[in-house]
Amino acid sequence: MPVVNDMTIKIGGEAGQGVESSGAGFAKALSRAGIWIYGLQDYMSRIRGGHNFYQIRTSAHEVWSFRDAIQMLLPFTTEAVQRHWEEVVPGGAILYDEGVKFDEGPLRERGIKLFAMPLMKIAEKEGGSRVMMNTAALGAVAGLTEFGFEHIADIIETNFKRKGGGVVEANLKVAEFAYQQGHDQFAAEYDWKLAAQEAPPRMVINGNQAIALGAIAGGCRFISGYPMTPATTILEYLNSKADQFGIVTKQTEDEIAGVLTAIGAAHAGARAMTATSGGGFCLMTEGLGFAGCTETPIVVVDSQRAGPSTGLPTRTEQGDLQFVLYASHGEFPRLVLTPGTIEECFYSGARAFSLAEKYQCPVIILQDLTQSNAIRSLPTDRLDFSAVHVERGKLMSAEELDRLEGDYPATS
């Protein structure tokens, strides 16, 4: 009996081969078809070179994490086979371009099915470009899993329409040809299948995007920061929504300027935040103390990566809790929120601003690299904007401000 909508697909290759874009696109296609997904990416800190992978877990029911065992490996390089073939379950498969060479003996002994296809040649012949090999590969995977081609066509049109109709048509041609070849040659031999399910609309989102959405719901009007993996996408996402929601975004020259600029904006009355990782938070500690001293309500996101020092930019860790509890010298109150799901990321992103203003102190949102980057499909009503309540704490009216004379009045 075939196993339907319960498998893990892993795509592996070099940076620049489209591993991330292919994985993210296929994950969206699956989610749009009503299949629950959890997507995990892994990448090296080098811009070019180094092994990357993208792993997609599919399920007929909601899932919150990945699984180590995989049923389909899609390697773009020999290294990807060597790194991951032992994760493939007996009866699982490796679909690869015929130009990828490796020792087949141990894999066949394990019971792994080897599906070789001329993916590069398909891309060149049908699309006119070798860069479409990953499109051919995903088309072939859809074919042998008997996943409806209309879902692949839909995501190709979505992803490539900004590049023009010619690019869309070329990729569709490549994907459709590879789909048919994969189906005809290998579908009968492969036991795992993917089938569309009736489902209400779902979003595909990661923790950083959820925090940013929560910040928008919570009234954020200013974000500053210096790009630092894995927190950068918070700044990028809010920048992409800046015009729509009236948000000022500022990329500063370093993390010190990032926190101080946010403090200045908050002191002027804007709901302000910054986002960084552990190494950047180290540089912010004096600024954090300044916010505590002046009772300035700011929000700081620390998306943790492995340390110490500058650490490992693309590896996850949860080692900063003790640090953020006591960062900066002297004593002052601060609040630390530690969301453990994408839903909690959203509500923490919104709640942090109200807590900061109510108690007039810094609020730190602490999460890790995995949650920052990993995507999940979830119902659109799971993030309830109507449930977010903005609380600004005690405020002085215009009349009360007009009655003030001289310096800031002393309290008794």
CATH of the domain at 24: 3.40.920.10
Please report, rounded to a whole number, the percentage of residues in the chain having pLDDT higher than 70. Answer: 98
Strands 298-306 and 363-368: parallel
Percent of the chain residues topping a pLDDT of 90:
89
Model confidence, pTM: 0.93
DSSP 8-state class, residue 409? P
Residues sharing a CB contact under 8 Å with residue 27, sequence separation 6 or more, in sequence order? 37, 39, 56, 204, 375, 377
Q: Rounded CA gap, 6 and 25, in Å?
A: 19
* Closest listed residue to residue 77, CA positions, set 101, 54, 111: 101
pLDDT digits (tens, 9 = 90+) for 268-302: 999 999 999 999 999 999 999 999 999 999 999 99
pLDDT tens digit string along 93-133? 999 999 999 999 999 999 999 999 999 999 999 988 999 99
Q: What per-residue string of b and e applies to 187-216 under the rule 16 or more CB within 10 Å gives b?
A: eeebebbbeeeeeeebbbbbbbbbbbbbbb
The Cβ of residue 163 has, within 10 Å, a number of other Cβ atoms equal to 11
Give the domain extent around 42. 3-199
- Say if residue 341 is in the same domain as residue 244: yes
Instruction: Mark whether 9 and 64 lie in a shared domain.
Output: yes
The pLDDT of residue 342: 97
Same domain, 295 and 391: yes
**CB of 192 closer than 8 Å to CB of 3:** yes
Mean pLDDT across 222-239: 97
pLDDT digits (tens, 9 = 90+) for 319-363: 999 999 999 999 999 999 999 999 999 999 999 999 999 999 999
Q: Does residue 411 form part of some domain?
A: no
Residues 160 and 217 grouped into a single domain: no
Task: Inform me whether the pLDDT recorded for 411 exceeds 90.
Answer: no
Residues 72 and 163 in one domain: yes
DSSP per-residue string spanning 327-393: -SSS----EEE---SHHHHHHHHHHHHHHHHHHTS-EEEEEEHHHHH-EEEEEGGGS-GGG------
182 lies in the same domain as 252 = no
pLDDT at 1: 82
Answer whether the bond into residue 308 is a cis peptide, omega within 30°: yes
Task: Classify each residue of 374-405 as buried b or exposed e, where b means 16 or more C-beta atoms within 10 Å of its C-beta.
Answer: bbbbbeeebbeeeebeeeeeeeeeeeeeeeee
- Predicted pLDDT of residue 178: 97
**189, 233: one domain:** no
For the segment 128-139, the average pLDDT, to the nearest whole number, is 93
pLDDT in tens, 144-202: 999 999 999 999 999 999 999 999 999 999 999 999 999 999 999 999 999 999 999 99
Q: Domain check: are 8 and 156 in the same one?
A: yes
Report if residue 403 sits inside a domain: no
Whether residue 223 is found in the same domain as residue 174 = no
Q: What whole-number distance in Å separates Cα of residue 410 and Cα of residue 192?
A: 72
Q: Are residues 214 and 83 in the same domain?
A: no
Of 199, 214, 232, the last residue of a domain is 199
pLDDT of 3 over the 60 cut: yes
Asked whether residue 404 is domain-assigned, the answer is no
pLDDT at 222: 98
> For position 412, what pLDDT does the model report?
46
Cα–Cα distance, 395 to 274 (Å, whole number): 24
Answer whether residue 242 is part of any domain.
yes
On whether residue 54 sits in a domain, the answer given is: yes
- What rounded mean pLDDT belongs to the chain? 95
Residue type, 12: G
The number of folded domains in the chain is: 2
- Tell which of 184, 199, 214 closes a domain: 199
Boundary of a domain, candidates 166, 183, 199: 199
